[in-house]
Structure 1
């Protein structure tokens, strides 16, 4: 189908149309849609269900106490990202921020790393449905072949939704997030109530190291390995990521400078509190037969405490949550590819920067993102060990993105224009110190030898990106990698009348 191009010389007005005859993406998302994007990507049901068993193995039940520390660390990052989103409300989040504040070369590198993360994490998340949940739910033997086929279909469905209609995509995600919120709250309350009334809660288990030796539990570890408690932070590091995806839809959000920072911070806070209460309940009830050896310990505990029917409902809830998570990842990846293509610096940009005139979605970018995910799935699906490395890479890559973006903000914060939407004010320095300490500690965890494969994956992807970037500069010159002055972004915000939506500042100045 024919698609019309959208170029950076045609900024998007508040009503969602573009100047001239070229179509753009409609600005129609409110606070709950923005919150749902952030909440849906993080998806505590997905993250806890997927990684709780590995935390029990590496750190024992006591490892759950790393969660609240992780929440505080990730919240500090969300606050920094909120300050940036309020100043540069444009699709592409870290790619746009770093490009405009540090320079387009560094911005391109950040964009490529973000693309690598989104391409791999959608496979890692969706594969969980096929490899773990559906075999447990329908009692069949999961194989690499049927897991590959099911995951491929799930990713195709998500891409079809994103390509067909942004409004429908958000309706599906809003519904899924509402179901997840209600379901997780209900499960937590039921676990505490039934477990307490039946005497099946053992709060001493919250402080047990399980099969992990007590000696050296809090040790930092050696050169190539992290200590048991340090590894427990990976539960939060894998789960509480992706809140910044709300900023990637800034050009489709009403009053983005005000709405997006609020949505990101509220998503992290609500996920953090609800997730920790659920972890307390599931761990206190965790001394049930077979739970420690189960491939799905969360489901095993809930089935033992609340019965098989509720256990099945949990699995259905997790399927809904994972589908929502993968949907948001696909949406966010599509917007990143579109943003970099609009600035003419992504492979195949002439086609990938087009907006379909009927759906008002970047259809080509959506198809491209889906094909990349299918290729990654095909490469890794024959080996369960390789897919475990995908999960590890999906934990490592956002830490790299967060560290680079926070460092950029810390260095350039005094040159940022003011924003009427969101400001850290006097808390800016304390928040930056907290975020920096947290990210340094988190990155040190990845020195563990178990992350050798993910580091290799990251380096290979960076090498591929470097080859393309060198070719891009050789063909068109470094002068092509230019971005508008920061004042252009601030003027775009200021040009909106009070109470109306600001137009989105666009990419490369021609």
Structure 2
């Protein structure tokens, strides 16, 4: 792209923000790869698989990995619908903005608060993975509740410093980490395959084994408060393949966001889904005795070091740590952008403190400090529970399912009156995509009736109550009209994509 073309595109992007009632405050430096990297890093198959594989072995056995393709297809459908909204409303705040402008500001505020509660807990869940499932094997120490909490707290601080002081360096670190994750996971798949075949350790029967779970009633629907073993395995993909919409939360920092962001989201889900499934197949065939492996708190790391040896295994585990670190960093950055976006509209508690972009760093500095404090507080609450990791990943899976379902319902209700797309359209595939996304989300949400998610529901209820109290205060002070969003020309006037020549 020439300098003149680039300048024209950037000018168009600035005007695009203005039609939503905002001024361009954040620097537009995020290109196509960086946008993809943000979405891919949030998904982070290394993080998701290292976090949940052990839980799936215990709930569903090795055969639980076959739920992964279902989750991937379902999330691709969701990504297509969210991408279609991102192309129409390319503004920081993603689901909060979409719901506020297409439905009403009260529902939009609720969506924003739920998104905030999700980002806060998933940042902790991801960083907790480093300290609880990888570092003990990599550094050869015994993990305890205390040292796991301390390491997680330090990781959060380092991520917070990067996000607070430089978006450029945050994206550079993330770009390096995503490259490392892609290379590392590919190397893991190839090396594990080669060594496994040479050593004759590949056991194809593991792919269809259910142990340590009984095969009796394996595919049962379950009861009102209990989900069947096979369905619980879906959480492996449901926890991992989330957060791709984070690319939309950086829309005001992305060049040509209406075109770039939707494609980045879909590409991240597809890349993660394909590479992640290959890795799961290989690891499961090399699991040895699945029932014995299920007893380990670090099953993936155990398989990697056993098959590849400590030296090669440790090198690849370092790449995994880098990938997980980037995932947590991107989540933290996405949470910061949401806090800033809601504060800019005078809707977040203490908004006058958190609605500013620092002239020195070019980042929402105060919002970053707030997000860091909140994540550390959540860590303190959960870290010393005996099932801390399961509780964290349960809540971090439940909340995005709720967000996605609400957003898809919004799309269905408003699809006939949506503003013109500025770079992405589903065309004749819109209805099939809606049907498949709806079926998937209904199935996913039904899993959370299981009693094992009681603690996850408790976190959601507590956070919703806190948000509800603040919403009541907002409505008492301003009324519904006082929560109105800045104007949106592309909806109010059913505007077509911006004509650059006429604006000169």
Shorter-normalised TM-score: what interval? over 0.9
- C-alpha contact 2:83 2:261 (8 A) present in aligned 1: yes
Match of 2:301 among 299, 302, 306: 299
Cα 1:82–1:23 change in 2 (3 A) is closer
- Using the TM superposition, give the Cα deviation of residue 227 of structure 1 relative to its aligned residue in structure 2, in angstroms: 0.4
- C-alpha contact 1:16 1:25 (8 A) present in aligned 2: no
- C-alpha contact 1:163 1:361 (8 A) present in aligned 2: yes
Question: Could you tell me how far apart the structure 2 residues matched to 1:129 and 1:186 are?
Answer: 20
TM-score (norm 2): 0.93
Cα 1:200–1:149 change in 2 (3 A) is same
For structure 1, which segment, 110-119 or 303-312, has the greater mean C-alpha deviation from structure 2 after superposition? 303-312
SS of residue paired to 1:360: coil
- C-alpha contact 1:288 1:301 (8 A) present in aligned 2: no
- C-alpha contact 2:420 2:497 (8 A) present in aligned 1: no
- C-alpha contact 2:166 2:363 (8 A) present in aligned 1: yes
Q: What is the match of residue 213 of structure 1?
A: 214
List per-residue Cα deviations over 1:426-450 (Å, max 9, x = no partner). Answer: 1111100101110000000000000
Q: What is the match of residue 357 of structure 2?
A: 355
- C-alpha contact 1:288 1:304 (8 A) present in aligned 2: no
Cα 1:329–1:50 change in 2 (3 A) is same
Compute the RMSD of aligned alpha carbons: 2.1
Q: Unmatched 5+ residue regions in structure 2?
A: 1-9
Cα 1:23–1:93 change in 2 (3 A) is closer
- C-alpha contact 1:37 1:173 (8 A) present in aligned 2: yes
- C-alpha contact 1:100 1:484 (8 A) present in aligned 2: no
What does 1:382-397 correspond to in 2, within 5 Å?
382-397=384-399
Asked if 1:463 corresponds to 2:430, the answer is no
- Using the TM superposition, give the Cα deviation of residue 210 of structure 1 relative to its aligned residue in structure 2, in angstroms: 1.6
Q: What is the match of residue 498 of structure 2?
A: 495
Cα 1:318–1:146 change in 2 (3 A) is same
Q: What is the match of residue 188 of structure 1?
A: 189
Question: Could you tell me how far apart the structure 2 residues matched to 1:245 and 1:279 are?
Answer: 25
Asked if 1:326 corresponds to 2:328, the answer is yes
Asked if 1:59 corresponds to 2:63, the answer is no
Question: Could you tell me how far apart the structure 2 residues matched to 1:401 and 1:204 are?
Answer: 38
- Using the TM superposition, give the Cα deviation of residue 247 of structure 1 relative to its aligned residue in structure 2, in angstroms: 0.2
Question: Could you tell me how far apart the structure 2 residues matched to 1:362 and 1:223 are?
Answer: 45
List per-residue Cα deviations over 1:170-200 (Å, max 9, x = no partner). Answer: 0000000000000101110111122122211
- C-alpha contact 1:23 1:360 (8 A) present in aligned 2: no
List per-residue Cα deviations over 1:141-162 (Å, max 9, x = no partner). Answer: 3222222221111101101101
TM-score (norm 1): 0.92
SS of residue paired to 1:220: coil
- C-alpha contact 1:16 1:24 (8 A) present in aligned 2: no
- C-alpha contact 2:420 2:496 (8 A) present in aligned 1: no
Q: What is the match of residue 420 of structure 1?
A: 422
Q: Unmatched 5+ residue regions in structure 1?
A: 1-11, 503-510
- C-alpha contact 1:120 1:394 (8 A) present in aligned 2: yes
Asked if 1:282 corresponds to 2:283, the answer is yes
- Using the TM superposition, give the Cα deviation of residue 292 of structure 1 relative to its aligned residue in structure 2, in angstroms: 3.5
- Using the TM superposition, give the Cα deviation of residue 26 of structure 1 relative to its aligned residue in structure 2, in angstroms: 0.7
Question: Could you tell me how far apart the structure 2 residues matched to 1:244 and 1:55 are?
Answer: 25
Match of 2:405 among 403, 406, 414: 403
For structure 1, which segment, 342-351 or 130-139, has the greater mean C-alpha deviation from structure 2 after superposition? 130-139
- Using the TM superposition, give the Cα deviation of residue 311 of structure 1 relative to its aligned residue in structure 2, in angstroms: 2.0
Q: What is the match of residue 505 of structure 1?
A: none
Question: Could you tell me how far apart the structure 1 residues matched to 2:496 and 2:28 are?
Answer: 14
Q: What is the match of residue 225 of structure 2?
A: 224
- C-alpha contact 1:14 1:27 (8 A) present in aligned 2: no
Aligned residues: 488
What does 1:103-502 correspond to in 2, within 5 Å?
103-287=104-288, 291-484=293-486, 486-488=488-490, 494-495=497-498, 497=500
- C-alpha contact 1:15 1:26 (8 A) present in aligned 2: no
SS of residue paired to 1:384: coil
SS of residue paired to 2:88: coil
Question: Could you tell me how far apart the structure 1 residues matched to 2:146 and 2:373 are?
Answer: 19
- Using the TM superposition, give the Cα deviation of residue 362 of structure 1 relative to its aligned residue in structure 2, in angstroms: 0.6
Question: Could you tell me how far apart the structure 1 residues matched to 2:496 and 2:362 are?
Answer: 23
- Using the TM superposition, give the Cα deviation of residue 223 of structure 1 relative to its aligned residue in structure 2, in angstroms: 0.7
SS of residue paired to 2:414: helix
- Using the TM superposition, give the Cα deviation of residue 472 of structure 1 relative to its aligned residue in structure 2, in angstroms: 0.7
- Using the TM superposition, give the Cα deviation of residue 295 of structure 1 relative to its aligned residue in structure 2, in angstroms: 1.6
Cα 1:146–1:496 change in 2 (3 A) is farther
